[in-house]
Amino acid sequence: MNVMAKAEKKISSAFIYFFGSFGGILFGYDIGVMTGALPFLQADWHLENAASLVGWITSAVMFGAIFGGALAGQLSDKFGRRKMILMSAIVFMVFSVLSGVSPDMGEASAYYLIIVRMLLGLAVGAASALVPAYMSEMALAKARGRLSGLNQTMIVSGMLLSYVVDFLLKDLPGEWAWRLMLGLAAVPALILFLGVLRLPESPRFLLRKGDEAQARKVLSYIRKNPAEIDQELASIKETAKEERQANQKTSWSTLFSGKYRYLVIAGVGVAAFQQFQGANAIFYYIPLIVQKATGQAASSNLMWPIVQGVILVIGSLVYMWIADKFNRRTLLMVGGAVMGLSFILPAVINWMMPNMNPMTIVVFLCIYVAFYSFTWAPLTWVLVGEIFPLAIRGRASGLASSFNWIGSWLVGLIFPIMTASMPQEAVFAIFGIICILGVIFVKTCVPETRGHTLEEIEEQGTNRGRVKASNPEN
């Protein structure tokens, strides 16, 4: 017992941050890996003309994640954050390996891989919800504000890592290439499991279970000042009491009452628009997009995902630099406008000059990714974390996350179907119009949250609800 206590005391906040961040890398790797694997998988299983199956294979992970995040949130309240992260890592390892060893049984192989990737998605959704939550509960209060930007940087770093792995494996025989790309996702999952195995449980969870002595002990590993520990314990108790009272007084219908409706629509709407704007169509299908534009084989275009990954990482660092210098609404509207034009202009140019260079669309996609990376990508979750009042925060955040995953799944599913039935420029123009609608939505429906307390933001929603109640025709 003394050996365990001594080992636990060596756990530093840097170690906790590293493995919290590593969860983001794991999440990002699985988002990006199919980008390089898909061209080889299509050729190996002769799926070039099976747009629906390709869409389902790609989007199955996001479909599973819709349910994984919701289940993990409930189970973590019962079993603990740490145990559920460990369970998620195990599920991730098992189904990553099962993806890589998919049997070759004709069309049945595609259905096998879809089911396996849906189950893998349960772990992806769980990790995306649990790891940042655990990290924020362990972090110093003054460090929590930077977690959204840090987590986004780690996610896109994981995507970049998967693109590099895909590129390094591209010269293997086709069957081995895609199998190793998918199966190697088990490696970061194993690293996450071994790292989290050494971490203590969240003090917030321990207090909820009535184990104050253990919660104090855990805080003593990462807080040096006894007075600071006492203050944080008291703060956690008070917050937990407020949340219990809030949960007793609210239901799902409360989210859409006059007092909260404005803020719920704003937060959930931004989360949904982030995905329906089409970013994941680029991340999942960029080699196929280049193939359709140039006629070159998709498997020879795996440098383009790396270019996109580098842009995403740089953009996430730019966001961390500018996050507190500009209003949230300003960044979202500027980013959305440029993203929309980046999608619409290639269609306009192609209409005016039918013989335009086919790589023009790829250049505009890079501009889209650059602006997405430091606006809508990180700011969606910053805003969702700030905009919901305490009384509805749990349910509203869960609803926003679900709509985000639904959007991610639908874009991954329908993009290959759309490009099989219409020109790529027209498909991206549709996404461009959605981007412009997102700008209008932010302008008319989303309050500014930078520099405002949670109480001030809630008051904006209350005042808006009163105005709507007194002017129902509006």
Q: Which helix (H) or strand (E) holds 396?
A: helix 393-421
- At residue 4, the pLDDT reads 40
My answer on whether 56 and 113 are in the same domain is yes
- At residue 2, the pLDDT reads 43
Within-domain flag for 1:
no
My answer on whether 262 and 346 are in the same domain is yes
My answer on whether 82 and 154 are in the same domain is yes
- At residue 220, the pLDDT reads 78
Within-domain flag for 4:
no
My answer on whether 132 and 232 are in the same domain is no
Within-domain flag for 2:
no
What residues contact residue 324 under an 8 Å CB cut-off, 6+ apart?
450
Predicted TM-score (pTM) above 0.85: no
What residues contact residue 174 under an 8 Å CB cut-off, 6+ apart?
40, 43, 44, 299
My answer on whether 65 and 140 are in the same domain is yes
My answer on whether 303 and 420 are in the same domain is yes
Choose one of 184, 199, 214: the last residue of a domain: 199
Question: What distance in Å separates the CA atoms of residue 84 and residue 193, rounded to the nearest whole number?
Answer: 11
Within-domain flag for 426:
yes
Within-domain flag for 59:
yes
My answer on whether 340 and 271 are in the same domain is yes
Tens digits of pLDDT across the chain (474 residues): 443 444 345 567 677 777 766 777 887 888 888 888 888 998 889 888 888 898 999 999 989 988 887 787 778 878 888 888 899 999 999 999 999 999 887 778 899 999 999 999 998 888 877 876 777 677 665 555 566 667 778 888 999 999 999 999 988 887 899 999 999 999 989 998 998 888 888 888 888 788 888 888 888 777 777 777 888 788 777 777 766 666 666 667 777 777 788 888 998 999 999 999 999 889 888 888 888 877 777 667 788 889 999 999 999 889 888 877 888 899 999 999 999 999 999 989 888 887 778 788 889 999 999 999 999 998 888 888 778 876 777 678 778 888 888 999 999 999 999 988 888 889 999 999 999 999 999 999 988 877 766 667 767 666 665 555 455 444
My answer on whether 217 and 316 are in the same domain is no
Per DSSP, the residues of 303-354 read HHHHHHHHHHHHHHHHHHHHTTTS-HHHHHHHHHHHHHHHHHHHHHHHHH-T
Within-domain flag for 127:
yes
Choose one of 215, 249, 283: the last residue of a domain: 249
Question: What distance in Å separates the CA atoms of residue 420 and residue 434, rounded to the nearest whole number?
Answer: 20
**CATH classification of the domain holding 44:** 1.20.1250.20
The angle at the Cα of 403, spanning 399 to 404, to the nearest 5 degrees, equals 115
My answer on whether 304 and 397 are in the same domain is yes
Within-domain flag for 227:
yes
My answer on whether 328 and 231 are in the same domain is no
- At residue 332, the pLDDT reads 95
- At residue 474, the pLDDT reads 45
The full length of the chain comes to: 474
My answer on whether 98 and 244 are in the same domain is no
- At residue 70, the pLDDT reads 75
Choose one of 249, 271, 286: the last residue of a domain: 249
Question: What distance in Å separates the CA atoms of residue 343 and residue 311, rounded to the nearest whole number?
Answer: 17
Domain residues for the domain of 243 are 204-249
My answer on whether 169 and 179 are in the same domain is yes
Tell me the torsion sign for CA atoms 444, 315, 313, 191. negative
What is the number of domains present in the chain?
3
Q: Residue 81, exposed/middle/buried by CB under 10 A (0-12, 13-18, 19+)?
A: buried
